[in-house]
Structure 1
């Protein structure tokens, strides 16, 4: 690799971000009482957010300060929501509901990591991180509270569980928007190759030049 990617290695931002991420896991585990499986992914997200906040400007060419600030704020809020979501899921007895919440957390973690790496991709997944992720947190915490009541409301539990399950597909479809540029590029490549093959088979002139999409 060369260019900006090489220049971004080994910078003070990397060092401070690494320290922040490294400190998060023990502080969250021993200070806040979070389980290790919850604190380790959180440490990765803290590193990604700190790396963005501390100035990977070479990776952010073309983005103005307002866009960078927005990406930083969205990532910070999403990191806090992910921690709450993990805690809520851990306290839920229903294994199916817990599994759905864990899946939503895993999808959101991948999205946050990608946005931290490439803040310009925030727009297609902003609604996922600012609306659906907090909604998943509220549903998870609400379901946990319902389970712990002396007389759990079966109808409310079922309705909440159904919405949590429905959010699984919502998370997946929004996260897939990050891959849209690559998929569109693949469609272009397939069309160019198909045209080239047809032209070669007919023996008519030279094949059209393929435009690199990667």
Structure 2
């Protein structure tokens, strides 16, 4: 759908460029038409959605791992958008805020994996299970709010699970960052030893 819209926008602007340049600027029709085609092609390029991991060095990670990460992130992004949309539909302020935070944390995790596809292993279960399940559960809450007499126990349970999901999302966010700190303790010990040895020589 977005690609069709991009073609329409680029086609419209490219088309109106031709008479504008021909009659407005007095350029020959052939020149105006050439510029119109260039405008059309340029807009298609600018409006084209950016691919995940675009421009990455494949040799640094491996094609199969990169393809897997691209597929997982491609499947996960609509789930994050869904959480954003559901948050807008929820009326209860604290539940609305929790679901909105789920979307923010999830988007941060996606960005972290896109920066380094090697991080995928740490959060793959989050992206393939917790994230879509969070969308399913959150989407039911506005339905409960629309009911005249919703089951109070079901409302409470749903709110409780959303709260637990917020904790789970935070856990996976930390797991993503933990992968960057894997060797920090070793590096700290080495630098401490080096400093102690060098200071002891004075």
TM-score, normalised to structure 2, is: 0.70
> 1:74 maps to what in 2?
72
> 1:56 maps to what in 2?
55
- For the pair shown, the structure with the greater C-alpha radius of gyration is 2
Q: Does 1:65 align with 2:93?
A: no
For structure 2, list consecutive stretches of 5 or more residues without a partner in the other structure: 1-42
Q: Is the 8 A contact 1:107 1:172 kept in 2?
A: yes
For structure 1, list consecutive stretches of 5 or more residues without a partner in the other structure: 1-14, 22-46, 205-214
Structure having the larger proportion of residues in helix: 2
Q: Deviations over 1:144-181 (max 9, x none)?
A: 11111121111111101011111112111111222224
> 1:209 maps to what in 2?
none
> 2:48 maps to what in 1?
20
> 1:42 maps to what in 2?
none
Deviation of the 1:201 alpha carbon: 4.8
Q: Distance in 2 between matches of 1:99 and 1:197?
A: 47
Q: Deviations over 1:52-80 (max 9, x none)?
A: 3xx5242x324333322211211111111
> 2:128 maps to what in 1?
130
Cα 1:158–1:18 change in 2 (3 A) is: farther
Q: Is the 8 A contact 1:17 1:51 kept in 2?
A: no
Deviation of the 1:17 alpha carbon: 7.9
Q: Distance in 2 between matches of 1:18 and 1:178?
A: 32
> 1:173 maps to what in 2?
171
Q: Distance in 2 between matches of 1:191 and 1:17?
A: 50
Q: Deviations over 1:173-214 (max 9, x none)?
A: 11122222432333222211222233345449xxxxxxxxxx
Question: May I ask how many residue pairs the two structures share in their alignment?
Answer: 160
Cα 1:103–1:191 change in 2 (3 A) is: same
